[in-house]
Structure 1
């Protein structure tokens, strides 16, 4: 009796076979439809770690690409601002030289007016933001780094007022004025005083030479750059423009605060500083351009790495259409045969079975 297979056992076994065939057919049909294996990790076995590593590489690569794209926008915006700065300073240099060499009537007043306008324009450029972050504020990018130009101009006038004692300055008084202006723009020791570039123009807590701005370009690798509103090139530019802005300064009684000889010396110093500022900022733009090229190169490498890893994932997870189609055909034949046998057996009676 124990060696005889009961009809119930045969039926259960056949039902299990049908379920397995149907399940496999459904899985293969889904795989062929999607182009992806239903459970690639099962087929890979111990090699599944390779698949997980590829997914990790793609995720990291996508994150780095995203950061790189945003950083690229920041660097491009900074370059645009530096280009605009160069044009403004170039225009001021032309006006300043014309005032020295041609000296048409009222030219010094024109220089002073344009200098004040240029200071305001530079402050606006240095407050440029990308996605709500000030690009020239260093690591303290949550707020605008530059104060309104009126604050700085008021401080510059205070330096002039402190040097003339209510009397017009002549050429003998100019060295003291230039020293006071130089001290304002070049504080090197201790906290900056009230009349300083840090308190009149650039107020960000992130200073040049401190922790640089960083861009993640790979695992454990960063690209650093440091172009802030207190860069020496910007300081030289603001100092030159500040000196030029004083050329039309007057006392309370309407008298020029600088006589003609004093104006000539101040304008000469301003033109010299302006040329130095242009040179420094040209170097800054060039160095920033090198960073941009490096970032573009890394981005290209990341793109290729992500593309390669994605292709490998597709290979590991992809379905072999020919093999899957052959298997589907084979399963359909098996299912038809099983259904046919089941149908014939269901027609058998106990009498037929006993025969």
Structure 2
């Protein structure tokens, strides 16, 4: 019986030492993690019910970080959009300056207007086909489509190029004021989508993006319950007016219009359209700027909220680095002592006693 009790006592002692070593090891691991991170290793055990507040704050911060990331991408898109629109307005304004100086038929400048109008169209189409993050920014919700056709580029939908349409509509150009009125009316029908001939419309041959009739615009959710519409499309009024005026001058050599009144009326119609297009682009750019300012303010607000919540989370989850280091040192000392005792006990044999 004495031997049995002795064996049980030895077993219990061994198990007790193992449990103590395990406890000290776990405590050291926890203290080491807290020293390294400065945060509680076992948040729910230490905080109890207050841990729910920490979880809630972390969820809000994570959601805000998602908004911050997406809003920064949106801000970049709007910045690129604004730059492209500014470039297009500059192209229009430069051409207007040239057109105004070529107000007299038959002079050297008037003979250059056709080539310069085509070059201006080429530059505007290039800007309108700008891509950001793999998406065409002026195509509406159909961002996988290149929104604008080149002047001589055939549309897959109609089999016509913008040049084909305008050459057919304008022909050799006006010979009288009556011709100017007739041609202008037909050109207007092309660009407002009411022309009777199939394919002879801006959205049919010039433009490939989302149709205006859908009423759908590119939108973005920038915060909880806050959605902004930021999509500017290459079929908006500013684009159609600008392209209409330039197309009128790109289709014919206006220097060949011999009647001065007819020349003046035709040039004036084209110039007014270009000027109106430039003004409408400026208005759209200003509206975009307001939306961009709102997005930037939202980014800043989310960042500030996250900073405040981060301080509160540190208050909840943080540990005293000095206290954690002291606890780690004490646990290490205790563990070393436990190992030393275990080593000494393991060496206490009858043979060692007889030596």
Same fold, TM-score > 0.5, yes or no: yes
Aligned twin of 1:141? 143
Q: Matches of residues 1-355 of structure 1 in structure 2 within 5 Å?
A: 6-100=9-103, 105-150=107-152, 151-161=161-171, 169-187=175-193, 193-207=198-212, 210-248=215-253, 256=256, 259-332=259-332, 334-335=334-335, 338=338
- Rate the CA distance shift 1:342–1:156 in 2: closer, same or farther, 3 A: closer
Write the deviation string for residues 68-114 of structure 1: whole angstroms up to 9, x where unpaired. Answer: 122112111111111111111111111111112x5572322211221
Structure 1: stretches of 5+ with no match in the other structure: 251-255, 351-355
Comparing 329-338 with 81-90, which one deviates more in the overlay? 329-338
> Residue 145 of structure 1: CA displacement?
0.6
User: Contact between 1:89 and 1:274, CA under 8 Å: does it hold in 2?
Assistant: yes
User: Contact between 2:130 and 2:136, CA under 8 Å: does it hold in 1?
Assistant: yes
Aligned twin of 1:253? none
User: Contact between 1:138 and 1:212, CA under 8 Å: does it hold in 2?
Assistant: yes
Cα distance in 1 for partners of 2:208, 2:332 equals 77
Cα distance in 1 for partners of 2:299, 2:192 equals 39
Aligned twin of 1:353? none
> Residue 331 of structure 1: CA displacement?
3.0
Write the deviation string for residues 157-213 of structure 1: whole angstroms up to 9, x where unpaired. Answer: 11013xx7xx96222222111111111111269x99411111221121343772221
Q: CA RMSD in A?
A: 3.1
- Rate the CA distance shift 1:210–1:261 in 2: closer, same or farther, 3 A: same
Normalising by structure 2, we get a TM-score of: 0.84
Matched residues, number = 339
User: Contact between 1:208 and 1:230, CA under 8 Å: does it hold in 2?
Assistant: no
Comparing 206-215 with 338-347, which one deviates more in the overlay? 338-347
User: Contact between 2:40 and 2:46, CA under 8 Å: does it hold in 1?
Assistant: no
- Rate the CA distance shift 1:92–1:54 in 2: closer, same or farther, 3 A: same
Cα distance in 2 for partners of 1:328, 1:297 equals 45
> Residue 288 of structure 1: CA displacement?
0.7
Q: Secondary structure at the match of 1:173?
A: helix
Comparing 34-43 with 277-286, which one deviates more in the overlay? 34-43
Comparing 224-233 with 332-341, which one deviates more in the overlay? 332-341
Q: Secondary structure at the match of 2:87?
A: helix
